[in-house]
């Protein structure tokens, strides 16, 4: 019998408590009991400073303080303010100016872009393709829309991006469904920290060029939530021009989020940006996505849209934001490198890592190991295929301690 009272289960498995939230509250309880110095809480998906406080870019705070009431109290147009629609393309692409037909539609965070892409470019019952290490909400979003997630193996035995598995899955799903939505979270993938190399990109796009010949449509959703924390801001955008060289029935959509990049997590701001080969495909993108937004969250919050517009209107403000973010990015990259070095030193295997908020450790019994570590004061997140450590939320010193603790717990 279902344990639902009035709500309908609709085929979903809904836990009584969010897993990460549960672990985080156990960490807080231990801090209250034993003191903060006894606990490392590496579960949180926001960038925290070494004292555990949320990093908020002061240049962004200054821009927020200068807003007039109508800048945040008023409705924004469904697809975003005109200024935001232009500014967010610059934020996403950097100095690169796509030659494709490029439309941006505002969304509540990157999450909204993922939701709208799945709802508009796949059909009920379809499978959405992503890697076997993936951000769990992809599954929730797909499930809420009557779709499901199918995975390819992300890494082969040698630890290289598994293009063979990717290619086989694309082929299989295109054959079965005629159309396909693929989610690639890069650079600085959550949960592994992996970024596709230029060579990986060339291989991926070759597969799409080949498989699209018999397909209705293939949509490549590039979830770029961590793009500004992945290393050099220009370097990690080097793949964008490659997305211009695709047939018209392959549509790249970039999911850009202001949550991490502008430290505006709570303002729920992001955008979906298409790189279409024809004007008609770009117009359709805008029309269907705005329609879908109307039927889910309606318009997105205006506050961060205005902030981003101001940042791109004011060169010195943009310079300040870029500079400040670069300093915090360096802090994050140092933590990741410290973790990697220590893991190597103590012989702890980790999933190939480049940059970003998280590092993953493959392991057989993630739930058992993470419970064991909680007793030692280390809180991390067990996933289906291993353990996820948020280097974004702990100090470099803690990053140096964690690998040995995990290694010991696994013995
Ligand atoms: C992989 C990934 N994609 C997208 C997002 C989008 O987040 P938001 O909706 O806050 O922009 C996140 C946030 O944690 C994420 O980890």
User: What pLDDT digit, counting tens, does each position of 283-316 carry?
Assistant: 999 999 999 999 999 999 999 999 999 999 999 9
Looking at the structure, do residues 37 and 140 belong to the same domain, yes or no? Answer: no
Q: What is the pLDDT of residues 377-397, one digit of tens each?
A: 999 999 999 999 999 999 999
Looking at the structure, do residues 387 and 271 belong to the same domain, yes or no? Answer: no
Query: Which of 45, 92, 187, 259, when mutated, tests ligand 1's pocket best, judged by the most ligand atoms within 8 Å of its CB?
Result: 259
Give 175 Cα–ligand 1 centroid separation in angstroms: 30
Structural domain boundaries enclosing 276: 69-316
pLDDT given at position 320 = 97
Residue in 236, 210, 258 with CA at minimum distance from that of residue 64: 258
DSSP H helical segments within 35-93, as ranges?
Answer: 58-65, 69-73, 82-93
Last residue of a domain, one of 316, 351, 370: 316
pLDDT at residue 1 above 60?
no
pLDDT at residue 3 above 80?
no
Q: Is residue 81 part of a domain?
A: yes
Q: Is residue 4 part of a domain?
A: no
Is residue 263 a contact partner of residue 55, using CB atoms and an 8 Å limit?
yes
Q: Is residue 62 part of a domain?
A: no
Distance, in Å, from the CA atom of 338 to the CA atom of 394, rounded to the nearest integer, reads 12
Last residue of a domain, one of 316, 345, 360: 316
> Order of strands, edge to edge, in the sheet holding 148-152?
104-107, 270-274, 250-257, 217-223, 179-185, 127-131, 148-152
Looking at the structure, do residues 336 and 292 belong to the same domain, yes or no? Answer: no
Structure tokens at 377: 């004061």
pLDDT given at position 399 = 98
Q: Is residue 216 part of a domain?
A: yes
Specify the CATH number for the domain of residue 228: 3.40.640.10
- The protein residue whose alpha carbon is closest to atom 6 in ligand 1 is 110
Looking at the structure, do residues 265 and 393 belong to the same domain, yes or no? Answer: no
Q: Is residue 172 part of a domain?
A: yes
Is residue 190 a contact partner of residue 150, using CB atoms and an 8 Å limit?
no
Query: 193 CB under 6 A from ligand 1?
Result: no
Q: What is the pLDDT of residues 130-169, one digit of tens each?
A: 999 999 999 999 999 999 999 999 999 999 999 999 999 9
pLDDT given at position 113 = 98
Query: 135 CB under 6 A from ligand 1?
Result: yes
Looking at the structure, do residues 90 and 140 belong to the same domain, yes or no? Answer: yes
Specify the CATH number for the domain of residue 40: 3.90.1150.10
β 381-382/386-390 pair status: antiparallel
Give 284 Cα–ligand 1 centroid separation in angstroms: 25
Looking at the structure, do residues 137 and 251 belong to the same domain, yes or no? Answer: yes
Average per-residue pLDDT in the chain?
96
Give 295 Cα–ligand 1 centroid separation in angstroms: 21
- What's the whole-number mean pLDDT along residues 91-97? 97
Looking at the structure, do residues 264 and 387 belong to the same domain, yes or no? Answer: no
Query: 225 CB under 6 A from ligand 1?
Result: yes
Question: Scanning the structure block, which residue is given the tokens 């992300």?
Answer: 154
- 190-216 burial, b for 16+ CB within 10 Å, e for fewer? bbbbbbbbeebbebbbebbeebbeebe
Last residue of a domain, one of 288, 316, 344: 316
pLDDT at residue 226 above 70?
yes
Residue in 407, 351, 354, 339 with CA at minimum distance from that of residue 384: 351
pLDDT at residue 55 above 70?
yes
Helix axes 396-410, 315-346, angle to 10 degrees: 30
Query: 111 CB under 6 A from ligand 1?
Result: yes
Looking at the structure, do residues 307 and 338 belong to the same domain, yes or no? Answer: no
Give 213 Cα–ligand 1 centroid separation in angstroms: 32
Q: What is the pLDDT of residues 333-372, one digit of tens each?
A: 999 999 999 999 999 999 999 999 999 999 999 999 999 9
Q: pLDDT > 70: what percent of the chain? A: 100
Q: Is residue 9 part of a domain?
A: no
Distance, in Å, from the CA atom of 98 to the CA atom of 215, rounded to the nearest integer, reads 25
Length of the chain measured in residues: 411
Query: 106 CB under 6 A from ligand 1?
Result: no
DSSP-based helix, strand, coil % in the chain, nearest 5: 50, 15, 35
Structure tokens at 383: 């996933």
Q: Is residue 12 part of a domain?
A: no
- Kindly report the backbone phi and psi dihedral angles of residue 15, in degrees, each rounded to the nearest multiple of 5, phi listed first: -70, 155
Count of domains observed in the chain: 2
Helix axes 366-375, 396-410, angle to 10 degrees: 120
pLDDT at residue 20 above 60?
yes
Looking at the structure, do residues 365 and 261 belong to the same domain, yes or no? Answer: no
Query: 190 CB under 6 A from ligand 1?
Result: yes
How confident is residue 408, by pLDDT bands cut at 50, 70 and 90?
very high
- The protein residue whose alpha carbon is closest to atom 7 in ligand 1 is 110
Distance, in Å, from the CA atom of 92 to the CA atom of 107, rounded to the nearest integer, reads 14
Structure tokens at 52: 């555990």
Q: Is residue 261 part of a domain?
A: yes
Looking at the structure, do residues 78 and 135 belong to the same domain, yes or no? Answer: yes
């Amino acid at each position: 019998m279902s344990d639902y009272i009035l709500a309908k289960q609709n085929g979903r498995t809904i836990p009584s408590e969010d897993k990460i939230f549960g672990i985080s509250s156990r960490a807080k309880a231990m801090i209250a009991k034993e003191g903060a110095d006894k606990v490392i809480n590496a579960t949180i998906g926001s960038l925290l400073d070494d004292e555990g406080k949320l990093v908020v870019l002061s240049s962004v705070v200054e821009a927020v303080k200068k807003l007039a009431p109508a800048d945040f109290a008023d409705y924004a147009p469904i697809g975003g303010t005109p200024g935001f629609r232009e500014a967010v393309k610059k934020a996403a692409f950097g100095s690169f100016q796509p030659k494709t037909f490029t439309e941006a539609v505002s969304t509540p965070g990157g999450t909204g872009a993922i939701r709208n892409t799945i709802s508009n470019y796949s059909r009920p019952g379809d499978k959405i393709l992503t890697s076997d290490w993936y951000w769990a909400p992809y599954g929730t979003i797909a499930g809420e829309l009557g779709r499901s997630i199918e995975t390819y193996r992300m890494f082969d035995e040698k630890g290289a991006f598994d293009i063979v598995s990717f290619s086989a899955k694309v082929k299989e799903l295109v054959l079965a469904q005629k159309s396909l939505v693929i989610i690639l979270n890069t650079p600085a993938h959550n949960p592994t920290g992996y970024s596709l190399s230029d060579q990986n990109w060339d291989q991926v796009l070759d597969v799409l060029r080949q498989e699209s010949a018999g397909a209705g449509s293939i949509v490549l959703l590039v979830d770029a939530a961590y793009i500004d924390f992945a290393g050099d801001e220009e370097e990690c955008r080097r793949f964008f021009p490659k997305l211009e060289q695709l047939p018209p029935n392959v549509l790249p959509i970039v999911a850009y989020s202001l949550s991490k990049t502008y430290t505006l997590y709570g303002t729920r701001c992001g955008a979906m940006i298409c790189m279409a080969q024809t004007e008609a495909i770009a117009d359709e993108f805008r029309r269907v996505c705005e329609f879908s937004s109307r039927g889910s969250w309606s318009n997105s919050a205006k506050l961060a849209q205005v902030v981003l517009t101001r940042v791109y209107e004011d060169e010195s403000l943009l310079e300040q934001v870029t500079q400040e973010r670069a300093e915090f990015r360096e802090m994050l990259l140092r933590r990741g490198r410290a973790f990697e070095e220590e893991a190597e030193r103590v012989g702890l295997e980790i999933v190939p890592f480049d940059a970003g908020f998280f590092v993953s450790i493959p392991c057989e019994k993630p739930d058992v190991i993470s419970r064991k570590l909680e007793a030692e004061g280390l809180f991390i997140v067990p996933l289906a295929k291993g353990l996820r450590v948020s280097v974004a939320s702990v100090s470099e010193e803690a990053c140096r301690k964690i690998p040995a603790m995990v290694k010991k717990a696994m013995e």
